[in-house]
């Protein structure tokens, strides 16, 4: 299985992602610098968290136009699975690979804390090892995670089962109190129409062993490895 | 002594504006053998500023213990280096950015983080953790809210972007900081012990390289500003504050570490305070060589910059390196990959002079050795701080209701949860954070191993004010206890000495006293000082801060799986109090917040007891006999106990209190050398304590969700948590009065 972690100037969760992938998949991912215009044959591309290009202009906006993204877009269009975490999710929306946008948190501050999100569907290559409705505890660390899309877009992605995760309370109830950043309909993660691209604000790569505060992130990687190998 | 000579360019007023005393200027003239020009005067001015020269503090700092079996490099380099086994080293330092943060809180704090990060990765270390120590004025002061918001956002804005977790810190409020907040930032990095980079220039003819961001007109004379008192005009100093770019810093970290993986670098130094001046002078001085720089080659952000401006700019995210000959192209490739400036700006010479050229002319020529070695050193007159009376616990009236007292203290600014602050910091990036803010020390795993570094910052300024010797020692022992409480073995410290105007004997006496206390504690605990920073002149209109010698402690644990946190999370376990409780109330938070008094001597420090009790506790943790541990400090036993209960989400039934003292003194006294531990086998623990001659007593049981105890009304831990976490968010959300 060949997995690539794309590294932009300012990416800072690239190593964490590589560690998680290697630990769970047993294979070292290749690290691909953003200037690359050609990619080897891949089973999965991951856009890690961080502050690509300092998040200047808008989070993810400049990275979305990096040379490598042209190739990622083309491959994704022909079915390459792509996972974007945090800044990676922002890049995916800026690149038009996922609908909507991630705006400044409603409290206007950067927030780092473990949050509970509810798995909306286990019928995807990213979530098959979770149960639908399962509540997972995974940290967020972002200033721009406030998911926004027009009402008709939200209705459409809900209708097509593209909502992957929602912020919820410990019991799984989707409430305003449990929404850390003001995201529309508490959306924390979404799929593309074919469910081959996932953008997710929390950081599953940081919770892969109990010593680090939990292992709820593992199943996401296990799902992918199960589906792709 | 030679008399000062002045010229049209260098008038007494110009000299005074550069912060040099007439006699200091006379010494410049003597060294030069002529009147310096304005660029040369600028170099002298920053090199001889308090900030760069430590002229008031050096004679005292020299008395601190700085060596030990695990010390690889003590003070004098960019940061201290300790051996953590397996061929690895931890590199760390704490540094202040107080003056800039008061003037422009976001950028001041952000660039403070950037500066300390550079000090650490300059030496070849990948930064793995940031900590901070913050002091703000009274919550009632109209500026405090704005300063808290800006400083916290600045620390987060920088640290989060570079991707180094901010894992710990402390925040206090006191009116003495109304006009002078303190922002101390600490970075810890990890390197191979045989791949550490130093700053001494070597190899005449070797190229001098400038990398990083371009030089602009920002921050000119920051070091001089940081060496003067504030007055009502300080706002006008805003242009001396630099602007940070954490994105460039992140690129600079990656580019430097990539270059350091090879063997091209001879010496490297970051451009911190006093920018190109101090970096070039320090490199030349340490190597006992000269440097010749062509300022036309320095990458600049704007045209028309003078030599003076280029040399004194404090633009951020820049480094100066000396490479082996012929390595320029390889190095350039790396820096261009990371889209950073790279320029050969000069060469190492044997002249012993710093020669600056511009437009084909020599614009400055300074002898390096005397510039460094003849920097002024002062043995400033000092007065010992008068001893405060010991306050007997029995002389402090009991409160009407102990539970209300607990609630008041728990919601008081210094004890209230700082969650509002640390939730704005990314504490888990890099994927190795085991314990973080909200407990005792933070614990960060050494990547790819089972080892962990326990990290903490501490100081109790009210103790230092009342008795600098005790206060200095207490700051050291509190870090030692905090490291110990995780199960780690304390190894070394970094110190950040924040004081008022050293030209006042009373203030200088505080400094001397704190140094004495630090020295005594470090010696007794085998806990040397490996790096540090001094920030003086923290005064506004003659009003000095409380003496604040912040200590950053670092310890090591071989197996992070054996470490414990403060959370009492196992129903049915017993809490055991380790150490002697005498009910000390002088200079405590109880006295200040409840009795409205700030007098009295602070608690005595028994260094032998600290060591005995701490070694015992650490041994019990590593043996697996203890599931949670918390050191007792601010607010005493009951506050520590409630913090453990809140962290674990369980109640505690206190069954007995230390005998022979009033309940309020037992609950809130701040006796030192104490820990609370949770254990499932209290008998065995008490027997082991007896055998080790360590005072220990069974305090109560962890159970349910309610706190009960002698003299206390039953109260739910949930309500206590609401009080504890409520104060800061409510304060920050409130409209200024």
pLDDT digits (tens, 9 = 90+) for A45-91: 999 999 999 999 899 999 999 999 999 999 999 999 999 999 999 99
Q: Could you tell me the CA-to-CA distances from B683 to B339, B574, B600, B609, B625 in Å, in that order?
A: 63, 10, 38, 22, 11
Residue B504 DSSP one-character state: S
Residues from chain B that touch A214, judged by Cβ atoms under 8 A, are none
- pLDDT for the residue B191: 98
The answer to whether the beta carbons of residues A228 and A81 sit under 8 Å apart is yes
Q: Give B675→chain A minimum CA distance, Å.
A: 24
Q: What is the pLDDT confidence band of residue B238, given thresholds at 50, 70 and 90?
A: low
Q: Is B604 helix (H, G, I), strand (E, B) or coil?
A: coil
* Strands A135-142, A111-119: pairing kind: antiparallel
CA distance B521 to B493: 11
CA distance B2 to B33: 9
List the strands of the sheet with A30-33, edge to edge. Answer: A30-33, A3-7, A44-47, A82-85, A197-200, A187-191, A163-167, A111-119, A135-142
Alpha helices in B135-184 (DSSP H): 144-162
Indicate the pLDDT class of residue B5, thresholds 50, 70 and 90: confident
**In the Cβ-directed half-sphere of B641, how many Cα atoms lie within 13 Å?**
27
Q: Does B431 touch chain A if contact means CB atoms closer than 8 Å?
A: yes
pLDDT at B243: 85
Contact criterion met (CB < 8 Å) for A141 and B429: yes
pLDDT at B233 over 90: no
Decide if B256 touches A, using CB distance below 8 A.
Answer: no
Whether the per-residue pLDDT at B227 is higher than 90: the answer is no
Global pTM reads: 0.96
Please count the other Cβ atoms lying within 10 Å of the Cβ belonging to residue B418.
20
Q: Is the pLDDT of residue B236 over 70?
A: no
| Selection from A32, A103, A43, A102 nearest residue A70 by Cα | A32
Domain holding A54, by residue range, is 3-228
The 10s digit of each residue's pLDDT in B325-367 is 999 999 999 999 999 999 999 999 999 999 999 999 999 999 9
**Domains contained in chain A, number:** 1
Strand order in the sheet with B715-716: B628-631, B675-679, B574-578, B696-702, B652-654, B706-708, B715-716
Top-confidence residue, B234 or B137: B137
pLDDT at B621: 98
pLDDT for B737 beyond 60: no
A112 touches chain B (CB under 8 A): yes
Q: Which two tokens stand for residue B456?
A: 């903490």
Query: Residue B2's pLDDT is what?
Result: 57
Report yes or no: B627 and B561 within 8 Å, Cβ to Cβ.
no
Compute the distance between CA of residue A201 and CA of residue A117 in angstroms, rounded to an integer.
10
Phi, psi of A51 (to 5 degrees): -130, 70
Closest Cβ–Cβ partner in A13, A33, A54 for B161: A54
Contact check, Cβ <8 Å, B160/A110: yes
By annotation, the residues of A acting in catalysis are 86, 203, 205
CB A64 within 8 A of CB A52: no
pLDDT tens-digit readout, B151-201: 999 999 999 999 999 999 999 999 999 999 999 999 999 999 999 999 999
- How do B548-557 and B489-498 pair as beta strands? antiparallel
Among B584, B497, B506, residue whose Cα is nearest residue B543:
B506
- Per the CB < 8 A criterion, the answer to whether B373 and B46 are in contact is no
User: B383-397 as b/e, with b when 16 or more CB fall inside 10 Å?
Assistant: eebeebeebebeebe
Determine the residue of chain A that is closest to B563 in CA distance. A211
Give the H or E element holding residue B133.
strand B126-136
Nearest residue on chain A to B427, judged by CA atoms?
A112
Q: How many CB pairs under 8 A join A and B?
A: 83
Gap between the Cα atoms of A217 and A19, Å rounded? 13
Give the residue from B680, B446, B470, B484 showing the smallest Cα distance to B564. Answer: B484
Distance of CA A184 to the CA centre of its chain: 17
What are the beta bridge partners of residue B716? B706
pLDDT at position B115 over 90 = yes
Q: Which stretches in chain A have pLDDT values below 50?
A: none
Q: Check if the beta carbon of residue B466 is closer than 8 Å to that of residue B388.
A: yes
Nearest 5°: CA angle at B546, between B541 and B547? 115
Q: Residue B452: closest CA among chain A residues belongs to which residue?
A: A211
Q: For A212, which of B161, B426, B431 is closest by C-beta distance?
A: B431
Q: Which residues pair with A4 in a beta bridge?
A: A30, A45
Cα gap B698→B683, rounded to integer Å: 9
Q: Read off the pLDDT of residues B78-99 as tens digits, 9 standing for 90 and up.
A: 999 999 999 999 999 999 999 9
CB A1 within 8 A of CB A27: yes
Tokens read off for B251: 């690129």
Which residues partner with B458 through β-bridges? B551
Interchain contact, B424 vs A111, CB within 8 Å: yes
What per-residue confidence (pLDDT) applies to A82?
Answer: 98
Q: Which residue of A has its CA nearest to B434?
A: A212
In this structure, the dihedral spanned by the alpha carbons of residues B18, B24, B30 and B32, taken in order and rounded to 10 degrees, is -30
Q: Which residues of B are catalytic?
A: 51, 97
How much is the pLDDT for B219? 73
* pLDDT higher than threshold 80 for residue B239: no
Residues of A in contact with B156 (CB under 8 A): 110
State whether B429 and A206 contact (CB < 8 Å): yes
In 3D space, the residue among B113, B261, B250, B163 whose CA is nearest the CA of residue A17 turns out to be B163
Residue B421 has pLDDT above 80, yes or no: yes
- Identify the pLDDT of residue A128: 98
Buried b (16+ CB within 10 A) or exposed e, A31-51: ebebebeebeebbbbbbbbbb
Spatial separation of the C-alpha atoms in residues B285 and B291, rounded to whole Å:
10
- If you average pLDDT over every residue of chain B, what do you get? 95
Containing H/E element for B142? none
Contact A19, B429 (CB under 8 A): no
Helix axes B607-622, B505-525, angle to 10 degrees: 50
Q: Is A193 helix (H, G, I), strand (E, B) or coil?
A: coil
From its phi and psi, is residue A108 left (phi > 0), alpha (psi between -120 and 50) or beta? left
Distance CA B44, CA B42 (A): 5
CATH number, residue A142: 3.40.50.880
Q: Could A112 and B426 be called an inter-chain contact, meaning their C-beta atoms sit closer than 8 Å? A: yes
């Amino acid at each position: 299985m060949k997995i690539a972690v794309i590294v932009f100037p300012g990416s800072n969760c690239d190593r964490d992602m590589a560690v998680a992938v290697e630990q769970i998949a047993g294979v070292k991912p290749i690290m691909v610098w953003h200037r690359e215009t050609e990619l080897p044959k891949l089973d999965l591309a991951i856009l890690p968290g961080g502050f690509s290009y300092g998040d200047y202009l808008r989070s993810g906006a400049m990275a979305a136009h990096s040379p490598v993204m042209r190739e990622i877009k083309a491959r994704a269009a022909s079915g390459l699975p792509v996972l974007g975490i945090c800044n990676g999710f922002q890049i995916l929306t800026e690149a038009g690979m996922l609908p909507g946008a991630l705006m400044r948190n409603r409290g206007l501050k950067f927030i780092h804390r473990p949050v509970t999100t509810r798995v909306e569907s286990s019928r995807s290559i990213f979530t098959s090892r979770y149960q639908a409705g399962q509540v997972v505890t995974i940290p967020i660390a972002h200033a721009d995670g406030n998911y926004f899309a027009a009402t008709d877009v939200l209705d459409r992605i809900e209708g097509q089962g593209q909502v992957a995760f929602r912020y919820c309370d410990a019991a799984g109830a989707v409430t305003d109190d449990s929404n850390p950043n003001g995201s529309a309909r508490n959306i924390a993660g979404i799929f593309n129409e074919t469910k081959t691209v996932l953008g997710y604000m929390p950081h599953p790569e940081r919770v892969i062993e109990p010593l680090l505060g939990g292992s709820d992130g593992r199943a996401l990687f296990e799902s992918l490895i199960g589906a792709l190998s | 002594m030679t008399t000062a000579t002045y010229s049209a360019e260098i008038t007494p007023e110009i000299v005074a504006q550069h912060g040099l005393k007439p006699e200091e200027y006379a010494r410049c003239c003597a060294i030069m053998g002529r009147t310096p020009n304005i660029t040369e005067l600028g170099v002298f001015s920053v090199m001889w500023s308090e900030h760069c020269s430590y002229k008031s503090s050096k004679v005292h700092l020299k008395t601190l213990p700085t060596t030990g079996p695990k010390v690889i490099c003590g003070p004098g380099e960019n940061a201290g280096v300790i051996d953590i086994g397996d061929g690895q080293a931890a590199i760390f330092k704490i540094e202040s950015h107080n003056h800039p943060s008061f003037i422009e809180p976001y950028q001041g704090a952000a660039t403070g983080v950037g500066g300390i990060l550079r000090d650490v990765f300059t030496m070849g270390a990948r930064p793995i953790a940031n900590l901070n120590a913050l002091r703000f004025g009274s919550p009632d002061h109209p500026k405090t809210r704005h300063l808290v918001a800006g400083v916290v956002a600045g620390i987060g804005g920088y640290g989060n972007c570079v991707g180094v977790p901010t894992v710990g810190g402390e925040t206090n409020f006191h009116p003495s900081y109304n006009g002078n907040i303190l922002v101390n930032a600490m970075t810890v990095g990890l390197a191979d012990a045989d791949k550490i980079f130093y700053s001494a220039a070597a190899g005449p003819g070797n190229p001098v390289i400038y990398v990083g961001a371009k030089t602009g007109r920002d921050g000119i004379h920051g070091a001089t500003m940081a060496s003067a008192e504030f007055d009502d005009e300080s706002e006008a100093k805003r242009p001396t504050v630099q602007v940070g770019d954490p994105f460039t810093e992140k690129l600079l970290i990656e580019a430097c570490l990539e270059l350091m993986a090879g063997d091209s670098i001879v010496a490297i130094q970051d451009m911190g305070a006093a920018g190109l001046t101090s970096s070039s002078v320090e490199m030349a001085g340490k190597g006992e060589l000269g440097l010749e720089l062509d300022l036309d080659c320095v990458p600049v952000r704007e045209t028309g910059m003078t030599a003076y401006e280029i040399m004194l700019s404090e633009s951020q995210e820049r480094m100066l390196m000396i490479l082996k000959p012929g390595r320029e192209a390889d190095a350039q490739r790396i820096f261009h990959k990371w889209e950073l400036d790279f320029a050969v700006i000069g060469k190492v010479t044997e002249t012993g002079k710093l020669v600056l050229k511009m437009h084909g002319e020599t614009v400055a020529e300074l002898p390096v050795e005397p510039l460094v070695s003849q920097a002024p050193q002062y043995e400033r007159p000092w007065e010992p701080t008068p001893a405060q009376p010991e306050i007997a616990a029995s002389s402090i009236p009991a409160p009407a209701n102990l539970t209300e007292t607990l609630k008041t203290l728990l919601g008081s600014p210094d004890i209230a949860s700082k969650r509002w602050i640390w939730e704005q910091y990314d504490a888990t990036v890099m994927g190795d954070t085991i314990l973080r803010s909200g407990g005792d020390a933070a614990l960060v795993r050494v990547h790819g191993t089972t080892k962990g570094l326990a990290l903490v910052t501490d100081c109790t300024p009210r103790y230092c004010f009342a008795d600098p010797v005790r206060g200095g020692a207490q700051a050291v022992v509190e870090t030692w206890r905090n490291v110990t409480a995780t199960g780690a073995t304390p190894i070394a410290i970094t110190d950040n000495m924040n004081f008022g105007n050293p030209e006042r004997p009373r203030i200088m006496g505080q400094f001397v006293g704190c140094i004495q206390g630090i020295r005594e504690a470090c010696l007794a605990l085998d806990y040397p000082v490996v790096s540090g920073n001094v920030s003086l002149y923290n005064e506004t209109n003659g009003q000095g801060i409380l003496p604040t010698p912040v200590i950053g402690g670092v310890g090591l644990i071989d197996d992070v799986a054996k470490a414990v946190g403060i959370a009492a999370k196992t129903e049915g376990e017993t809490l055991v109090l380790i150490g002697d409780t005498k009910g000390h109330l002088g200079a405590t938070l109880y006295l200040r917040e409840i009795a409205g008094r700030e007098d009295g001597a602070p608690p005595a420090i028994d260094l032998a007891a600290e060591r005995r009790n701490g070694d015992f506790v650490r041994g019990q943790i590593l043996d697996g006999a203890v599931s949670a541990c918390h050191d007792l400090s601010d607010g005493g036993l009951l506050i520590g106990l409630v913090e453990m209960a809140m962290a674990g989400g369980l109640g505690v039934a206190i069954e007995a209190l230390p005998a022979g003292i009033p309940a309020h003194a037992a609950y809130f006294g701040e006796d030192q050398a104490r820990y609370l531990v949770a254990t499932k086998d209290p008998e065995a623990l008490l027997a082991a304590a007896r055998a080790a001659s360590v005072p220990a007593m069974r305090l109560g049981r962890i159970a349910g969700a309610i706190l009960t105890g002698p003299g206390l009304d039953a109260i739910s831990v949930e309500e206590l948590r609401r009080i504890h976490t409520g104060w800061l968010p409510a304060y920050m959300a409130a409209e200024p009065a």
